[in-house]
């Protein structure tokens, strides 16, 4: 039985007692062999085979910024670390194939926490079909995680943020507002609705839908990480267009109604500005929207420069998350 098929228990040795190389051996033991990975963990670099152009993305997860250990189990943090990166590959219309992970933590971090984290990494890699290729481990004052994911476009052109055209429609695949609802709940010291909390801990990325959108002729696409309006703003700016989002295109699920009622807020603020769900938003020629995607707006000629509006009116509140504001 693999170490990663067994639950860990609290207590036990710390990273200072296990040591860097002992920890690496534990994390990499028993990784499955793959035909596209010629050299895996254990050397100065991994070697993999990818046909055609390579698409890659990197994300940082910092304790206290992207997760809190009292809010998210270690396994959830590991899963999230892979998911948020694969979402970026999906947003380019690609298929993720391999990942390398940088991990830093204080010496007194329990070994059990790190092994649970690694279990989450491997579980999400298995879900997405991504090979865990290796990485690096070092010490730091807080837990910090850097994941770089590589993928293939399989001969297709990348779908960028700059191709939206007036007359296109805007469509969404995946959830919006759920992670923000979970964050709001946890910030008040509660653990329900459980579905919202789980959405904050591990995003439900619509795996495979980036390729579906690309094959359907998506003219632009983006991963919703900082808030729907904020991220659509990137498409509007890069494409030189205006985007109008239609509020009545969204059904408000019960957990979001419950959180909004408990916090005295508007559930549409969660949906339109909440980040961390990592759904995909794309623009398509009208009639090209694939099954599984919901039309939520339109692309228009810019009136006074690129902009995002809601039901034809400017949005006066925050549009999403900015790490420095």
Residue ranges of the binding site for Mg(2+): 44, 57, 59, 88, 136, 223, 226
CB 79 within 8 A of CB 121: yes
Nearest to 244 by CA among 288, 307, 304: 307
Annotated binding site for ATP: 135-136, 161, 225
Can you point out the beta strands (E) in the chain? Answer: 37-39, 47-48, 54-62, 95-105, 131-139, 144-152, 169-173, 220-223, 242-245, 280-284, 294-300, 307-310, 313-314
Token pair recorded at residue 227: 């808030």
CA dihedral sign, ordered 113, 203, 86, 320: negative
Beta bridge partners of 135: 101
Within 10 Å of residue 17's Cβ, how many Cβ atoms? Answer: 12
Please give the angle made by the CA atoms of 282, 260 and 88, to the nearest 5 degrees.
25
Annotated binding site: 44, 57, 59, 66, 88, 135-136, 161, 223, 225-226, 276, 321
Token pair recorded at residue 152: 């293939």
CB 110 within 8 A of CB 9: no
Residues 176, 230: Cα–Cα separation, whole Å: 13
Annotated binding site for substrate: 66, 276, 321
How far lies 62's CA from each of 14, 125, 141, 247, 252, in Å? 20, 20, 11, 33, 31
Token pair recorded at residue 79: 């899963």
């Amino acid at each position: 039985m693999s170490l990663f098929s067994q639950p860990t228990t609290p207590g036990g040795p710390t990273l200072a007692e296990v040591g860097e190389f002992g920890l690496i051996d534990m994390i990499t033991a028993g990784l499955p062999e793959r035909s596209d990975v010629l050299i895996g963990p254990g050397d100065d670099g991994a070697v993999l085979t990818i046909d055609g152009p390579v698409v890659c993305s990197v994300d940082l997860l910092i304790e206290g910024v992207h997760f809190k250990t009292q809010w998210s189990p270690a396994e959830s943090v590991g899963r999230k670390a892979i998911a948020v990166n694969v979402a970026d590959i999906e947003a380019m219309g690609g298929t993720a194939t391999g990942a390398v992970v940088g991990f830093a933590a204080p010496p007194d971090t329990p070994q059990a926490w790190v092994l649970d984290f690694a279990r989450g990494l491997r579980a999400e890699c298995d879900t997405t079909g991504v090979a865990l290729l290796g990485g690096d481990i070092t010490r730091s004052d807080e837990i910090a995680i850097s994941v770089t994911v590589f993928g293939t476009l399989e001969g297709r052109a990348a779908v960028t943020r700059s191709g939206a055209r007036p007359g296109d429609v805007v469509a969404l695949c995946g959830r919006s507002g759920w992670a923000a609802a979970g964050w709001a709940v946890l910030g008040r010291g509660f653990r329900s609705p459980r579905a919202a909390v789980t959405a904050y801990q591990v995003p439900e990325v619509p795996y495979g839908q980036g390729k579906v959108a690309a094959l359907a002729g998506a003219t632009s696409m983006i991963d919703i990480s900082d808030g729907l309006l904020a991220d659509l703003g990137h498409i509007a700016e890069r494409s030189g267009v205006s985007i109008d989002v239609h509020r009545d295109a969204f059904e408000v699920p019960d957990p979001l109604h419950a959180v909004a009622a408990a916090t005295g807020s508007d559930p549409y603020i969660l949906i339109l500005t909440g980040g961390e769900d990592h759904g995909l938003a794309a623009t398509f020629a009208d009639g090209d929207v694939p099954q599984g995607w919901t039309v939520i707006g339109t692309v228009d000629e810019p009136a006074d420069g690129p902009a995002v509006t809601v039901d034809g009116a400017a949005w006066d509140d925050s549009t999403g998350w900015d790490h420095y504001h």
